Structure 1
Amino acid sequence: MKVATLFSPEAPRIGGAFVVVSDDLTTCQPADTASFQDALDRDDLCAVGEAAPFKIKDCAAPLPRAFQFLDASAYVNHVALVRQARGAEMPEHFWTDPLMYQGVSDSFLSPYQPIAGDPRWGIDFEAEVAVITHAIAQGATAEEAAAAIRYIVLMNDVSLRNLIPAELAKGFGFVQSKPPSSFSPVAVAAADCPGWDGRKLHGTMRIDLNGAPFGRVETGEDMTFDFGVLLAHAAKTRPLGAGTILGSGTISNRDQDGGPGKTIAEGGRGYACIAEQRMVETITSGAAKTPFLQPGDRVKIWMEDAQGNSIFGAIDQEVKALT
């Protein structure tokens, strides 16, 4: 089952009609509940009424707002590159103890909504997989937590790279450097999602920057912590309510020879964020060359099934300067 929330001009932060979408993303039917959150609360959903054309550009985020949004760094290779690029030692416990933060959840961006910001902030995208859960009890095991995963989505975790160092130096986490994220037009039920094995999503995440391939990264590889482990980590000291969203963090693959990865132009898989390409440039040539996003740039993030069909629809966003 695939679901979506249609954009409501009257209440953009809440969303409009909640619909069940056909597998080929061409038609939709009203759901038998008023909102995605209602369906997650009761842990049940079915379609009612007649099918109508599905206008994917009318989509808000599947959950336009959530009670809880967490983002992890499951691909520890990304963290290792960050440390290597600045000549810092990689703490050994980073490979066993997940990094995670709690982010903006009261208003997510739609998949086609512009990314607005000041270029001086170092605007970047991060292509990620995210899961949406049913309720998870405090102290749940990784197996129990994984069993509560209900839907899979794609996510662009917008990051303001030039604001991050000063915030982290305060020792109190992200606020200004992590604005609202955006999500794919549709969420896919875990039981029906191609490539989902119950703990990880296996497939090629496709990222284009200004129409050119930037990343063709493998989501099931180099994932140090699976979603069961991540959710259990989050639930250690708190229950997680139905509708919790947890992102994987930037997808990051090592090269086949164990190196930090190459651009697509060099025959590699590319990257899921600009920062990682800049880190590799610093490691290999001594300085970062690739600029962060500028007004007019366009980022597209999507995944395809074995037949080349879009699974989640695409996140397709243009960068606009603040007015």
Structure 2
Amino acid sequence: MRLATLPDGPDGRLVVVEDGSARAIACRTMLAWLDGGDAALGPEEDWQPEQAMACLPRAWQFLDGSAYVNHVALVRQARGAEMPERFWHDPLMYQGLNLFTGPRDPIPSAPDWGTDLEAEVAVLTGPVPRGATPDEAARAIRAICLLNDISLRGLIPDELGKGFGFVHSKPASALSPLAVTPDALPYDGRLHATVHVEVNGTKLGETRAGEDMTFDFPTLVAHAAKTRDLPAGTVIGSGTVSNRDPDGGPGRPVDAGGRGYSCLAEQRMVETILDGQARSPWLRPGDRVRIWAEADGHDLFGVIEQEVIEWHKLD
């Protein structure tokens, strides 16, 4: 089942998308459906993807992991820092903003922010009890989507230097227009699909989401629920999808025959490792980002397509 949210108040109106048409769902919102609400369908109506909000505009909680430990390893390698062994066995995770922008909403940027995209896979959960096992967590995963985790790299070092986590450097992220139930996807705890990323029409990444994922989604959800109940409407992100080269190298650009990168930071890290310095710029006003995922030539979640704009204070 493919689900989308159309504009109608802050949480929108939930529809099921089938063969170019949409049908309203009785429980009305994605939050209600995730909580086990009535899934009876209404009459058909036109489906216009460009009108879609984030598939879940307001979540109860957003927890973002770093399941592709290769990404963390490259960060450490570029800095000349040792990679802690525990990172391969104990997931990294932080708590982010639980409001999501739409797939076509702009990305505000300022010159010193170091604005970056991060193409991720995310799961939407029903209720998860505290201390859930991975098997119990797997049964609570109700839908899967794409996430563009906006990261302001220029602000991260100062925030992490305080020893208290992200706030300013992690603004609202965008969710794909469609969320899809696991039974309708090539999914076995990992999504087996290619995540495509373009910046200004140039291919940045064609990474494989099902490969090099150290921690699968049931493991991430169970980790998040170790000491807390997770309410229905929790979003768990995978972290940046990241692949190494088959020969163990740090990853080549797409135009050099590699799978490329799901964020600019990783591209810059590889440039630093290979050439001693980063060359690629961060996102700037006027840049356009496109993120989508395919399996067997089929688009899975629709397209996240955002333009970077100059930040200004809202009136």
The answer as to 2:150 corresponding to 1:161 is no
Counterpart CA distance in 2 for 1:220 and 1:164 is: 28
For the 8 Å contact 2:26–2:38, the answer to whether it is kept is no
The one-letter code of the counterpart of 1:96 is H
C-alpha displacement at 1:119, in angstroms? 2.9
Secondary structure in structure 2 of the residue aligned to 1:88: coil
Q: Which has the larger share of strand?
A: 2
Counterpart CA distance in 2 for 1:190 and 1:256 is: 28
Q: Aligned to 2:234, which of 225, 244, 250?
A: 244
The answer as to 2:296 corresponding to 1:303 is no
**1:90 is matched with which residue?**
83
**2:45 is matched with which residue?**
52
The one-letter code of the counterpart of 2:176 is S
C-alpha displacement at 1:44, in angstroms? 4.7
For the 8 Å contact 2:209–2:241, the answer to whether it is kept is yes
Structure 1: which 5+ residue stretches go unaligned? Answer: none
For the 8 Å contact 1:76–1:95, the answer to whether it is kept is yes
Residues 130-279 of structure 1 aligned to structure 2 (within 5 Å): 130-193=122-185, 195-197=186-188, 199-279=189-269
C-alpha offsets along residues 217-264 of structure 1, whole Å, 9 cap, x if unaligned? 000000001111111111110011111100000000000101110001
For the 8 Å contact 2:54–2:102, the answer to whether it is kept is yes
The one-letter code of the counterpart of 2:311 is L
Residues 105-144 of structure 1 aligned to structure 2 (within 5 Å): 105=98, 107-144=99-136
Counterpart CA distance in 1 for 2:144 and 2:80 is: 36
For the 8 Å contact 1:114–1:318, the answer to whether it is kept is yes
Secondary structure in structure 1 of the residue aligned to 2:16: strand
The answer as to 2:33 corresponding to 1:39 is yes
C-alpha displacement at 1:111, in angstroms? 0.1
C-alpha displacement at 1:46, in angstroms? 3.1
For the 8 Å contact 1:15–1:60, the answer to whether it is kept is no
C-alpha offsets along residues 156-189 of structure 1, whole Å, 9 cap, x if unaligned? 0000001111111111100000000101101001
Secondary structure in structure 1 of the residue aligned to 2:71: helix
Q: Aligned to 1:16, which of 12, 18, 41?
A: 12
Coordinate RMSD, CA, aligned: 1.0
Secondary structure in structure 1 of the residue aligned to 2:101: coil
CA distance change for structure 1 residues 67 and 316 in 2, over 3 Å: closer, same or farther? same
For the 8 Å contact 1:261–1:280, the answer to whether it is kept is yes
The one-letter code of the counterpart of 1:122 is G
**2:72 is matched with which residue?**
79
Q: Aligned to 2:308, which of 314, 319, 322?
A: 319
C-alpha displacement at 1:280, in angstroms? 0.3
C-alpha offsets along residues 66-112 of structure 1, whole Å, 9 cap, x if unaligned? 1111100000000000011011111111111110000000x211000
C-alpha offsets along residues 9-48 of structure 1, whole Å, 9 cap, x if unaligned? xx4xx143211111x4x21011111211111112552321
For the 8 Å contact 2:109–2:284, the answer to whether it is kept is no
**2:277 is matched with which residue?**
287
For the 8 Å contact 1:72–1:99, the answer to whether it is kept is yes
Counterpart CA distance in 2 for 1:52 and 1:120 is: 45
Counterpart CA distance in 2 for 1:222 and 1:279 is: 18
C-alpha displacement at 1:147, in angstroms? 1.3
Counterpart CA distance in 2 for 1:96 and 1:162 is: 29
For the 8 Å contact 1:43–1:134, the answer to whether it is kept is no
For the 8 Å contact 1:109–1:183, the answer to whether it is kept is yes
Taking structure 1 as the reference length, what is the TM-score of the superposition? 0.95
The one-letter code of the counterpart of 1:259 is G
**1:65 is matched with which residue?**
58
C-alpha offsets along residues 170-215 of structure 1, whole Å, 9 cap, x if unaligned? 111000000001011010011212x111x11011001111111110
Counterpart CA distance in 2 for 1:270 and 1:7 is: 35
Following superposition, which runs of at least 4 residues in structure 1 exceed 6 angstroms of deviation? Answer: none
The answer as to 2:4 corresponding to 1:4 is yes
Counterpart CA distance in 2 for 1:256 and 1:74 is: 19
